[in-house]
A and B are shown apart, each in its own frame.
Chain A
């Protein structure tokens, strides 16, 4: 069974904070509220029940995705190997990024207003390649700081430039 999973199993995967669920859920609920508002507006304006169909379907889809959200968030993971960082993500579309520490150009730690509300931060690793996709959301600030410090230290030790 192991042979057919995309992600390597012989590394220690770290998970993102479960608080990320509440953040994502809040965002989705806000979206549903906005859609409900639009639907109500349309109904009031056109006085036809068909007008509500669009927003209703969209809301239903969003709520359906909410049901898969916990599994989706559990799929986020990162592993610090000796020489590279692995980041995995995805349920339907699965992805794994491997970035050797020596290729790192800089590290971003960002926290948007909603993330700050939940006490979360996002760490993103940048290399000279624009396509590099190594972003880890939903980290607690101490863990984000630890990861950043470790990545920069390792990046300096193994710096190779381009």
Chain B
């Protein structure tokens, strides 16, 4: 039986979402955003040198120029969904056509910056493994369009068994007819608790010091110059920026489960709604800073591949900015089924490991939980890291000279993206070796 070689060209799949432009207001908003930066940068010098009228003229000229640039880039930008790919075309001089396979998308975030909110516009951000920044920010779309596109992309991002047979046979929801998936709200962080949790951060303690030193100086008859005052104010603002930003970023934090994944909504000025499809969570981390332990509060973060590691804490998706242990259990049960803080009883290092961690030894340890590898450390600011066995990428066993003398070894577990402290430190060498091999076996068996 011979097969006739067919000469028909490969069929290009019909676009699920035909090529579209971004919202027409995009160039205005983008231009405005750039203009604010430029004006802020040149204003003081320029204002003094040029005088009022000429300065206004210059600003207007810059504004028009930026508007033109934004307009051109707007006209050159478009997106379409073909098969299981999102394709984005951009650039006028050097054109770029990027195709993003949607099975590889790790999370989708719908962001509404303050400036875009009055216009009902939103930005859609996709996180992809291997991207060194947020790839494919689609800004701006109308809110309805962004939501519909998100639904479509999330539906296409599900790895299906028939993925190889081509996208044509899979019934794919089109952009218009898809009903929004029903969400089940899981948890909302009360505003009072969020504010209180941020007030209990070390940054605030320096505030009295920062205020009193200039005052003290003034009392002693020293004369407080403008520079001293300005620098004090700047320092105070800088110190307080972090808690305040954390507060506004996690304002009205709501976690919900939708059929297409975990949905995280937050934000005061800039609202964000992040969706993490099922199976994209690489690990979770629960920690409790010393001061929060008075109230029994904890914080939980998600570890997702593709989110930049360098950005550290900020880049990790917050799962629970602040909450009680009961809240954490609820959230963790959804994010990492089978993991429970209450059932975490770690195997601690033996007594002879005291030399490495005299006090930390009392809290650190590991546990082979039913579905996750759990490690705990931190005497004052305790921290629990849970990695589902199926997410383990590799296991490393380490032993230093002193450890060798004491017959101890340390097991490191690596997950996609890295930078996660999933370490069982200073365990007896035979146990560590067994653990490392057992983890490698489970990594395979739990797939």
Q: Which residues in A have some Cβ–Cβ distance to B below 8 Å?
A: 3-8, 83-84, 90, 92-100, 102-103, 127-134, 158, 160, 162
- Checking B280, B417, B436, B444 against A130 with a beta-carbon cut-off of 8 angstroms, the contacting residue is B417
Given A100-B444, A162-B129, A129 contacting B433 (CB threshold 8 A): no
- Checking A102, A128, A133 against B444 with a beta-carbon cut-off of 8 angstroms, the contacting residue is A102
- Checking B395, B399, B416, B419 against A98 with a beta-carbon cut-off of 8 angstroms, the contacting residue is B395
- A129 with B443: CB separation less than 8 A: no
Chain B residues with Cβ under 8 A from A90's Cβ? 399
Most chain B CB neighbours (cut-off 10 Å) among A84, A103, A158: A103
Chain B 282-312, CB-CB to A under 8 Å as 1, else 0, gives 1000000000000000000000010001000
Q: In the assembly, what is the distance between CA of A4 and CA of B440, in Å?
A: 20
B220 beta carbon closer than 8 Å to chain A: no
- B399 with A95: CB separation less than 8 A: yes
- Checking B401, B404, B417, B440 against A129 with a beta-carbon cut-off of 8 angstroms, the contacting residue is B417
- B309 with A129: CB separation less than 8 A: no
- B398 with A94: CB separation less than 8 A: yes
Q: In the assembly, what is the distance between CA of A8 and CA of B432, in Å?
A: 11
| Nearest Cβ on chain B to A4's Cβ, whole angstroms | 5
- A4 with B394: CB separation less than 8 A: no
Give the interface residue-count category, chain B. 35 or more
Q: In the assembly, what is the distance between CA of A129 and CA of B309, in Å?
A: 11
Q: Which residues in B have some Cβ–Cβ distance to A below 8 Å?
A: 129, 280, 282, 305, 309, 391-401, 404, 407, 409, 412, 414-419, 429-430, 432-433, 436-437, 439-441, 443-444, 447
Q: Which partner residue on chain A sits nearest B400 by CB separation?
A: A93
Most chain A CB neighbours (cut-off 10 Å) among B391, B393, B397, B433: B393
Q: Is the interface of A mostly helix, strand, loop or mixed?
A: loop
Given A83-B444, A100-B440, A162-B416, A6 contacting B394 (CB threshold 8 A): no
- A128 with B305: CB separation less than 8 A: yes
- A128 with B416: CB separation less than 8 A: yes
Q: In the assembly, what is the distance between CA of A129 and CA of B415, in Å?
A: 5
The 8 closest A-B pairs by CB, nearest first: A128-B416, A129-B414, A129-B393, A130-B418, A96-B397, A132-B394, A127-B393, A98-B440
Q: Which partner residue on chain A sits nearest B106 by CB separation?
A: A162
Q: Which partner residue on chain A sits nearest B430 by CB separation?
A: A3
- B443 with A128: CB separation less than 8 A: no
| Nearest Cβ on chain A to B200's Cβ, whole angstroms | 33
